[in-house]
Amino acid sequence: MLQNEKVCFSGVQPSGNLTIGNYLGAIKNFSTFSSEYRCFYCVVDEHAITVRQVPADLRRRTYETLALYMACGLDPEKNTLYVQSHVPAHAELGWILNCFTMFGELSRMTQFKDKSARHADNVNAGLFTYPTLMAADILLYQTDIVPVGIDQKQHLELARDIAGRFNAIHANTFTVPEPYMAKTGMKIMSLADPTKKMSKSDENANAVIYILDDRDTIIRKFKRAVTDSGSEVRMGEGKDGINNLITIYSAFTGKTVEEIEREFDGRGYGDFKLAVGEVCADALTPVQTRFAELLADKAGLEQVMKTGAETAARAAYRTLNKVKKKLGFVV
């Protein structure tokens, strides 16, 4: 790593099928950073086990998530792509940072409250300390920017607080990361309940557009999307459904809200829903084709994992050893 080279880090859980929310809010934008930053993109399998997983499914989805990274334009020659559990420094720094994280900070995390409610039979310590492991993921690489959606912004703020606290005690240890939030597509909402975020774990499959949904399924789901009693394609208060569809259309086409409103002036919701479905399907078709090719080459994916883990480990252990020395560990 060059001394003044800036670093970008992000991670995606291999738990469930990824949605257009994951695509538009994160993965689609990742490739744009590789010209300016040294990029680390991680399949965060250790985070996934905060809720119960079927081992064979988790293993399969780890390969699939890596393949999706690459299908969405991430070149392993220009980006470090790897699996979290292949770099033990993540878990090791996670424990150390637990000792610099306050109980009250973790208890205020919105996602802990939400997941505790959804998984009341398994409110484990990992679910509680998940944000500290996320902080370790980021801080290990002396990360400058983290592409995040609105739902992860609170966790990044905690990572910044932990870095600042550690630096105040042991000076010049961690870079304090900054969030990068895309201007559009930051938070894609459910098609069935547009007051809620689109979630890959939603029990209603019609509420979610998955990256790997086929064209007919995508268009059918958009046609069924909940809107309101009006007919004008315009952003407005209390129009959560149409606002969400405009956001999705804007994210896929690059058009502004004003341009979209002019384009569909005098046309109804039916026309607009079909148009949103078509631009979404058009954008995802090449991703799906490339994904199938990559997934068929398991040995190729394993080589990317191996090379990526070796590169990531070298950078991670530089930071980890620095931390250990500052703490007084014998290194």
Write the DSSP assignment of 201-247 as a string of letters: T-S-GGG--BTT--HHHHHHHHHT----S-------TT-HHHHHHHH
Q: Three-class SS of residue 122?
A: coil
The yes-or-no verdict on residue 40 having pLDDT over 60 is yes
Grade residue 114 by pLDDT with cuts at 50, 70 and 90.
confident
CATH 1.10.240.10 fits 205-292, yes or no: yes
What is the CA 204 to chain-centroid distance, rounded?
A: 21
Average pLDDT over residues 221-239: 90
Residue 112 has pLDDT above 90, yes or no: no
Q: Which of 28, 115, 221, 239 is catalytic?
A: 115
* Residue 246 confidence (pLDDT) above 50: yes
Does the active-site annotation cover 322?
A: no
- Residue 96, Cβ neighbours under 10 Å: how many? 16
- pLDDT (average), residues 36-45: 95
What is the pLDDT, as a whole number, of residue 25? 76
Where residue 183 falls among pLDDT bands split at 50, 70, 90? Answer: low
81, 102 Cβ separation under 8 angstroms: no
For residues 171-184, give the mean pLDDT. Answer: 85
Q: Work out whether the CA dihedral 117, 21, 65, 214 comes out positive or negative.
A: positive
Work out the percent of the chain whose per-residue pLDDT is above 90. 71
CB burial of 37-69 (b: ≥16 within 10 Å; e: otherwise) equals bbbbbbbbbbbbbbbebeeeeeeebbbbbbbbb
Q: In what order do the strands lie in the sheet with 38-43?
A: 80-83, 38-43, 7-12, 145-147, 178-180
pLDDT at 87: 98
Query: What pLDDT is stored for residue 113 in this prediction?
Result: 72
Q: Which residues belong to CATH 1.10.240.10 in the chain?
A: 205-292
Tokens of 232: 């004008």
Instruction: Output the pLDDT for position 4.
Output: 64
- Measured CA to CA, the distance from residue 122 to residue 125 in angstroms comes to 9
> Choosing from 28, 197, 221, 239, which is the catalytic residue?
197
Of 6, 187, 200, 322, catalytic: 200
- Whether 200 is catalytic: yes
Cα–Cα dist 26/12, whole Å: 9
- CATH 3.40.50.620 range(s) for the chain read 7-181+297-327
Instruction: Give the CATH architecture of domain 7-181+297-327.
Output: 3-Layer(aba) Sandwich (3.40)
Looking at the chain, which runs of residues are DSSP E strands? Answer: 7-12, 38-43, 80-83, 145-147, 178-180
Number of helices (H) and strands (E), helices first, in the chain? Answer: 14, 5
Contact 207, 192 (CB under 8 A): yes
Percent of the chain with pLDDT over 70: 96
pLDDT of the residue at 126: 85
List the structure tokens of 21.
């929310």
- Does 197 participate in catalysis according to the annotation? yes
Residues found in the chain: 331
What is the tens place of the pLDDT at every residue in 14-29?
A: 976 889 988 887 788 7
Give the pLDDT band of residue 51 (cuts 50, 70, 90). confident
State residue 2's pLDDT score.
47
> In 3D, which of 206, 212, 226, 221 has the Cα closest to residue 278?
221
